[in-house]
Chain A
Amino acid sequence: KQEVTQIPAALSVPEGENLVLNCSFTDSAIYNLQWFRQDPGKGLTSLLLIQSSQREQTSGRLNASLDKSSGRSTLYIAASQPGDSATYLCAALYNFNKFYFGSGTKLNVKP
């Protein structure tokens, strides 16, 4: 059974800190791993997608890594800003277009 877990559920950091969000998945037969951001009352915005053959992807201050053998992905945010405050979700794609979502990490970056 495919399960995706995100720990911690909530994280509060001072502005400027580098931070890491964790995502773990039970079935390593993923097609890709995607990170999203969700602001209150809004839809999910795609941040980064890592295909199963890739190890990491970078976009600006964001870096996502994927380790299929250990069933883990991390999202690294450098020099965090108050505007980064949001809920971050990861989703693992399996066969037949099945995306499984974690329950998210709610990030608060304090000015």
Chain B
Amino acid sequence: DTAVSQTPKYLVTQMGNDKSIKCEQNLGHDTMYWYKQDSKKFLKIMFSYNNKELIINETVPNRFSPKSPDKAHLNLHINSLELGDSAVYFCASSFTGESGELFFGEGSRLTVL
């Protein structure tokens, strides 16, 4: 039973379209994250939610909108997709605090044509 699962695994779409990625965790964690991994494999935090409340919102275009219906789910919606949005998007979760171990999903590879 996958701990952090995200769907879809692959997205190929045209510029200007809107797309969503869904994430669910069954670990009982109170914090969930979205990370972006670029072509150079660098991981950058985009958003973090703690108990459904947004706590981290890095410098991300407002075309990206996260939504957390409950603490086990964190979805990412992207409007008006651009070429530069092509990347792998990872969902992750953890408990808050010193012992917070981060667990990742398998990633969603987005290709914008």
Which residues of A come within 8 Å of B, CB atoms? 31-32, 34, 36, 38, 41-46, 49, 51-53, 87, 89, 91, 93, 96-99, 101, 103-104
Taken together as a complex, chains A and B put the C-alpha atoms of A96 and B50 apart, in Å, by: 9
Measured CA separation A49–B94 after assembly (Å): 12
Cα(A36)–Cα(B4), bound, Å: 15
Contact A43 B104 (CB under 8 A): yes
Taking each of A31, A46, A91, A97, which has the highest tally of chain B beta carbons within 10 Å of its own beta carbon?
A97
Interface CB pairs A-B, < 8 A, 8: A31-B97, A31-B98, A42-B106, A44-B104, A46-B104, A97-B94, A99-B45, A103-B41
Cβ–Cβ contact B56 & A43, under 8 A: no
Tell me which residues across on chain A come within 8 A of B50, comparing CB atoms. Answer: 97
**In the complex, chain B residues whose CB is within 8 Å of the CB of A52:** 98
Q: Which of B31, B43, B100 contacts A31 (CB 8 A)?
A: B100
Query: What residues make up the interface of B, taking CB atoms closer than 8 Å to A?
Result: 4, 31, 33, 40-45, 48, 50, 55-56, 90, 92, 94, 96-107
Q: Which residues of B contact A42 (CB under 8 A)?
A: 106-107
Partner of B107, one of A36, A43, A99: A43
Closest to A89 in B: B43
Q: A42-B106, A43-B104 are in contact. Are A101 and B42 (CB under 8 A)?
A: yes
CB distance A99 to B102 under 8 Å? yes
A-chain residues with CB within 8 Å of residue B45 when the two chains form the complex = 98-99
Other-chain residue from A36, A97, A101 in contact with B55 (beta carbon distance below 8 A): A97
| Chain A nearest Cβ from B21, distance in angstroms | 13
Chain B nearest Cβ from A86, distance in angstroms: 12
Report Cα–Cα, A52/B99, bound state, in Å: 9
